[in-house]
Amino acid sequence: MIEDARRLPQDSLIEADLAIIGAGAAGITLARELAGTNIAVCLLESGGLDFEQDIQNLYRGENGGRWYFPLDTCRLRYFGGSTNHWGGWCRPLMPIDFEARDWIPHSGWPITRADLDPYYRRAQVLTETGPFRYDATGFWEETLHTKMVPFSCGLITTTFFQYSPPTRFGTRYRKDIEDAPNVRALLHASVTEIETDASGSTVTGLRATTLAGPTFRVRARRYVLATGAIENPRLLLLSNRTNPAGVGNAHDLVGRYFMEHPHIPGVANLVMPWPEAFHAIYTQHLLLADNIVHSAMIPTDALLRRERLQHAVFTIGVMGVYDAKNLAAPAPADEERARDIFELQRDLGAPRATDHPPAGYNDWPPAGALGASCVLGCACEQAPNPDSRVTLAEESDALGLRRARLDWRITETDKLSLNRILHALAEELGALGLGRLHPTLSDDSIWPAEVLGGYHHMGTTRMADSPQHGVVNADCRVHGVDNLYIAGSSVFTTSGASNPTLTIVALALRLADHLREQPS
């Protein structure tokens, strides 16, 4: 059942077994999983079924650190949440991402990739992606009748992204929520405070409101906070009536360890003087199955361990050709030829980009072309950093609540790690004779201008076994609070270099199992 909270009488009390705050990927997955059980669920969503500017304005915030997207443009506040405009790129975290790596401070989840595997499989279905095969080069080579680049130095390997259509969780699963007899979804219901008992160890209720009133309360036996990784800490910090530090914040960890995946669209240019090299790289590019599969390049675990690096993923982007008539010099030896093309590229600025070549790429580059080039993009892992954080701004929103303030930081080790992996990639491609890789990151000053986030907000209520190191435990329950859970990427301990939503959905499915198995 879906209702509009604006029709509730003032000061209503809604009672349920489980209250879920937020109907994005995490909240909808959870409510849908519990549909048809004997758990009475109340799903509270701040927005309506469509975008409304005055509700979206509640997401405005401050950026106090390095440049970041305005906080009201990098997420959406209505039923379905940010899946209303996500890109659909899916990839699970790698097993090594869950490990405590002694070279990455604060790394190490209390769960392993194997714990999540069964849930990843189910998340594939909800995100409408293909088989749970991400690193199986042979499988995809066979399925797609193609060959991946045969990396041979043990430094770089192939991985795959799969694209969700992209699934808009609000539209795709709305009927499931409407039809569920035990789920009561309330739209236009903004939770403004999580109330606890005097000790702060039990949540006693939620205060909620609509923009123009009424205000009302929700009482449940258990609660799940699922409002995204900027809003989850904001709501915990705002709920400071009993404890000035906020709920679940005994160790001053709420809001800390904010992570993004720094994205650098033109991290390197790959110059390929030979059409065969271009073809080899192109087959590594965009592959089509029933669902779209996109290959990418990542460091091997061996390289990460040996050189104590953080993860990164590289994709092949815009392609360009070098026209023979632009080069007057006689054909030099291959090595020189590569250098000449490289210099030409440098002199001419960016290579002449064409559209992605069509499926019949054998006709491309066109006759007479001297070579081809492509631009590599990357997304990389940040080491968890307590100073990279979400706090409360001084300014308040239309509900009288202090807005979020983000201070996103990137550290020197984040940068050095990426540089090293780029050189490893150059080594692998060079060994195969596929061309010359020219990283654009040789100068540190490139970073501030070109690094964007990927709209991936992570880490602000991190998972750890002990309350000294994390906000939630391995079950996603807030340390020190017996009936409050958190869903979403705020619980990520580390970020890997994989887009977060598949993992968010997998974790929500796992939390649903936990709540079902342990009725309070």
Ligand X SMILES: Cc1cc2nc3c(=O)[nH]c(=O)nc-3n(C[C@H](O)[C@H](O)[C@H](O)COP(=O)(O)OP(=O)(O)OC[C@H]3O[C@@H](n4cnc5c(N)ncnc54)[C@H](O)[C@@H]3O)c2cc1C
Interface with ligand X, residue 499, by CB under 6 A: yes
> Nearer Cβ to ligand X, position 288 or 331?
288
Interface with ligand X, residue 216, by CB under 6 A: no
For residue 102, the minimal CB distance to ligand X (Å) is: 28
> Nearer Cβ to ligand X, position 389 or 456?
456
> Nearer Cβ to ligand X, position 93 or 149?
93
Interface with ligand X, residue 23, by CB under 6 A: yes
Rounded-to-integer distance, Cα 1 and Cα 176, Å: 9
Specify whether the CB–CB gap between 10 and 215 falls below 8 A. yes
> Nearer Cβ to ligand X, position 186 or 374?
186
Rounded-to-integer distance, Cα 420 and Cα 88, Å: 29
For residue 248, the minimal CB distance to ligand X (Å) is: 16
Three-state DSSP class for residue 196: strand
Write down how long the chain is. 520
First to last CA, the chain: 24
For residue 210, the minimal CB distance to ligand X (Å) is: 11
Torsion of CA 164, 170, 172, 174, to 10 degrees: 160
Interface with ligand X, residue 296, by CB under 6 A: no
Find the binding residues for ligand X in span 89-148 (CB under 6 A).
Answer: 89
Question: 355: which strand partners?
Answer: none
User: In this structure, what are the phi and psi dihedrals at residue 459, rounded to the nearest 5 degrees?
Assistant: 95, -5
Q: Do you find a cis peptide bond into 357, omega within 30 degrees of 0? A: no
Tell me, what DSSP letter sits at residue 401? P
Rounded-to-integer distance, Cα 188 and Cα 167, Å: 22
Find the binding residues for ligand X in span 176-195 (CB under 6 A).
Answer: 190-191
Specify whether the CB–CB gap between 27 and 224 falls below 8 A. yes
> Nearer Cβ to ligand X, position 223 or 322?
223
Find the binding residues for ligand X in span 300-329 (CB under 6 A).
Answer: none
Find the binding residues for ligand X in span 412-471 (CB under 6 A).
Answer: 455-456
- 21, 318, 370, 425: which one binds ligand X (CB under 6 A): 21
Stretch that binds ligand X, among 226-234, 247-255, 269-277, 463-471 (CB under 6 A): 226-234
State the binding string over 55-94 for ligand X (x if CB under 6 A, else -): -------------------xx-xx--xxx-xxxxx-----
For residue 68, the minimal CB distance to ligand X (Å) is: 12
> Nearer Cβ to ligand X, position 24 or 351?
24
Stretch that binds ligand X, among 19-27, 35-43, 318-326, 426-434 (CB under 6 A): 19-27
User: In this structure, what are the phi and psi dihedrals at residue 383, rounded to the nearest 5 degrees?
Assistant: -70, 140
| List of E strands, 273-311 | 286-288, 292-299
Interface with ligand X, residue 228, by CB under 6 A: yes
Structure tokens at 333: 């030896």
For residue 354, the minimal CB distance to ligand X (Å) is: 25
Rounded-to-integer distance, Cα 476 and Cα 472, Å: 5
Q: Which pairing describes strands 61-63 and 402-407: parallel, antiparallel, or unpaired?
A: parallel
Find the binding residues for ligand X in span 25-54 (CB under 6 A).
Answer: 25-27, 44-47
Rounded-to-integer distance, Cα 74 and Cα 458, Å: 13
For residue 375, the minimal CB distance to ligand X (Å) is: 19
Look at residues 269, 279, 277 and name the one whose alpha carbon lies nearest to residue 364: 279
Binding site for ligand X (CB under 6 A): 21-27, 44-47, 74-75, 77-78, 81-83, 85-89, 190-191, 226-228, 231, 235, 455-456, 488-489, 499-501, 504
